[in-house]
Chain A
Amino acid sequence: MARAVSPRRKLLMTLAAWSVALIIFFPVFWMIVTSFKTEASAVASPPQFLGADWTIENYVDVWARSDYPRFFWNSVVIAIGSTLLGLAIAIPAAWSMAFVPGKRTKDLLMWMLSTKMMPAVAVFIPLYLLFQQFGLFDTKIGLVLALMLINLPIIIWMLYTYFKEIPGEILEAARMDGATLWGEIVYVLTPMAIPGIASTMLLNIILAWNEAFWTITLTTTKAAPLSAFIASFSAPQGLFYAKLSAASAMAIMPILILGWFSQKQLVRGLTFGAVK
């Protein structure tokens, strides 16, 4: 919508848009601000902004003098682990569905997506018991498996859409040029699919990192990632707002950064391609 508009209208629109955006972003902003205050400053009434006492003590305390790094590490392992495992299973599946489609391929895809619509609580009870029985409860492996399975439909779907965008003629050209099936995959398909695979990885890491049902219900202390940690320590009795803010800020920062790069992938992945 690029048309010439009057400078006055542009100014009004800009002001309106920025006001709205800043209001929406304000909670995040306020949390970051709080994380740099001293505890006393954080709970001061009326709330202090410019006149507050600033410190980076909270970050140091949370990171160096508590169990926080362990939870952070758990989040990293679970997010990346479930993503890599998911990719390993999804890439062959998406490849075959995109390039050798059968009569049932579309139905199969729809079915896979529909598994994502199953309420988690319906499968929660047996999985909770099974995890305990098989020693997967409160383990990183267990969570990697669980998160991989809930996101597998989305991973397959996204890879499928990316693979479908590779023109079939290019693979045929490779075949005419003498490439075996393996050669096709290695020399042509994979290099062309790398951006799509990277996008899918990105989205999945975000979804796994932020997941807040299984990560809470299937862990207690050992394998708890950041989501569980923050959830349990949220209503602090007393005066730890600044530290909680620091902990929260560190918990969301990686994903805020990744999220900035992945807006397009978000639209593609979570609307199942219905919106372009």
Chain B
Amino acid sequence: MSTHSTRLAARIMVAPSVLLLLVWMIIPLGMTLYFSFRFYRLLSPDRTGWTGFTNYAWFLNSPDFWQAMGNTLALVGGVLIITVVLGILIALLIDQPVKGQGVLRILVIAPFFVMPPVAASIWENLFMHPQNGLFAAIATGFGAQPILFLEQHPMASVITIVAWEWLPFATLILLTAMQSLSSEQLEAAEMDGATPFSRFRYIILPHLTRAITVVILIQTIFLLGIFGEIYTTTQGGPGSASTTLPYMIFKQAIVAKDIGRAAAGGIIAVILANIIAYFLMRGIGRNLDN
């Protein structure tokens, strides 16, 4: 398929997307880097200048920052564990000969298609609300005090909401991988005398390794940037209890209007993403032959 005329045409056709993505990435990233080393507050536009690493130092010295880092890692780690473990179990369940598989899939996958603000809103108002929520009603029904989910356990609540949203994704991927496992392999194992649990442990689980790896990688990318759910429910509060790194940067930019600091935060976020990506690729990237 390779003749000279087609090769030139091909290069011209890729050019726009390459240019656009370069511009989208390089220019803003460069600007963020630039701003991070400057004093730049929207409320004091006349004061500008080079401040070196002051903005970075502010972050590293701020307890809010370390809490945000912890929250970010808790969010990513918590959701990953919940979605992968439950995802495997649910996929196993649906993969059984059960009636109405088609409808089952639709029910299980639905939460993924609910936009984050709506997902957050449902949980916040209909379930977790201390006066009108379903959980409160159940608690008082048993004579107990309603739990103030978003006030007292903000991070856990956010993790619950996000896990609910992403469980379908993990389940779908794992189910797809499971269904690509040839039944002949399992039948051979059965003839070799393997119990259902052994079959799961020695045949199904290894087959799923690649899919699990993909789920972890993809979800991590998206989970590091979770925003809408926090914005809708806790706005990072109470105080900074449910503020993650992205939300903290957002607050610096929009609320505190400190561009310099927010930019430094942005660069820190990039470094964090790269570190996590590095460890992920090392730790489990071997499972992929992408």
Interface residues of A (CB under 8 A from B): 1-3, 5, 10, 13-14, 16-18, 20-22, 24-25, 27-28, 30-31, 34, 42-43, 45-47, 89-90, 92-93, 95-97, 99-100, 102, 108, 110, 112, 115-130, 149, 152-153, 156, 168, 171-172, 181, 206, 209-210, 212-213, 216-217, 226-228, 230-231, 234-236, 241, 244-245, 248, 251-252, 255-256, 258-260, 263, 266-267, 270-272, 274-276
Q: Which 9 A-B pairs have the closest CB atoms?
A: A212-B228, A96-B10, A92-B13, A126-B31, A259-B113, A100-B10, A123-B28, A231-B117, A25-B107
Determine the chain B residues whose CB is within 8 A of the CB of A153 once the complex forms: 21
Instruction: Tell me the nearest residue of chain A to B17, going by C-beta.
Output: A93
Q: Do A99 and B25 have beta carbons less than 8 Å apart?
A: no
Q: Do B250 and A217 have beta carbons less than 8 Å apart?
A: yes
Interface residues of B (CB under 8 A from A): 1-2, 5-7, 9-11, 13-14, 16-18, 20-21, 24-25, 27-29, 31-32, 35, 90, 93-100, 104-127, 131-132, 134, 136-137, 140-141, 164, 167-169, 172-173, 176-177, 179-180, 183, 186-187, 210-211, 213-215, 218, 221, 224-225, 227-229, 231-233, 245-246, 249-250, 253-254, 259, 262-263, 265-267, 269-270, 272-273, 277, 288, 290
**Partner of A100 from B7, B107, B108, B183 at Cβ < 8 Å:** B7
Instruction: Tell me the nearest residue of chain B to A111, going by C-beta.
Output: B21
B92 to chain A, nearest CB (A): 10
Total cross-chain contacts (CB, 8 A) = 311
19 contacts across the A-B interface (CB closer than 8 A): A10-B97, A10-B98, A13-B93, A14-B100, A17-B93, A20-B93, A24-B164, A34-B126, A118-B270, A119-B224, A121-B249, A122-B32, A123-B32, A124-B266, A125-B28, A216-B231, A226-B115, A227-B115, A230-B118
Q: Do A126 and B35 have beta carbons less than 8 Å apart?
A: yes
Determine the chain B residues whose CB is within 8 A of the CB of A156 once the complex forms: 17
Q: Do B107 and A21 have beta carbons less than 8 Å apart?
A: yes
Provide the bound-state CA to CA distance between A221 and B7, in Å.
47
Q: Taking A24-B111, A228-B117 as given, write out 14 further A-B residue pairs in contact, using a Cβ cutoff of 8 Å, ordered by the A residue number.
A: A20-B90, A25-B108, A27-B122, A31-B122, A117-B221, A121-B269, A123-B24, A171-B1, A212-B115, A231-B228, A234-B121, A234-B124, A252-B115, A274-B210
Q: Do B6 and A21 have beta carbons less than 8 Å apart?
A: no
Q: Do A119 and B231 have beta carbons less than 8 Å apart?
A: no
A236 to chain B, nearest CB (A): 7
**Partner of B253 from A2, A34, A102, A124 at Cβ < 8 Å:** A124
Determine the chain B residues whose CB is within 8 A of the CB of A14 once the complex forms: 98-100
Determine the chain A residues whose CB is within 8 A of the CB of B267 once the complex forms: 122
B32 to chain A, nearest CB (A): 6
B84 to chain A, nearest CB (A): 14
Classify the secondary structure of B's interface with A: helix
Q: Most chain-B CB neighbours within 10 Å: which of A27, A96, A116, A245?
A: A27
Determine the chain A residues whose CB is within 8 A of the CB of B21 once the complex forms: 112, 115, 149, 152-153
Instruction: Tell me the nearest residue of chain B to A24, going by C-beta.
Output: B108
- Tell whether A17 pairs with B109 under 8 Å between CB atoms, given A47-B137, A123-B32, A266-B172: no
Q: Do B9 and A115 have beta carbons less than 8 Å apart?
A: no
Instruction: Tell me the nearest residue of chain A to B5, going by C-beta.
Output: A181
Instruction: Tell me the nearest residue of chain A to B228, going by C-beta.
Output: A212
**Partner of A212 from B25, B117, B183, B254 at Cβ < 8 Å:** B117
Q: Do A252 and B100 have beta carbons less than 8 Å apart?
A: no
Determine the chain B residues whose CB is within 8 A of the CB of A230 once the complex forms: 115, 117-118, 121, 232
Determine the chain B residues whose CB is within 8 A of the CB of A152 once the complex forms: 17, 20-21
Q: Do B93 and A259 have beta carbons less than 8 Å apart?
A: no
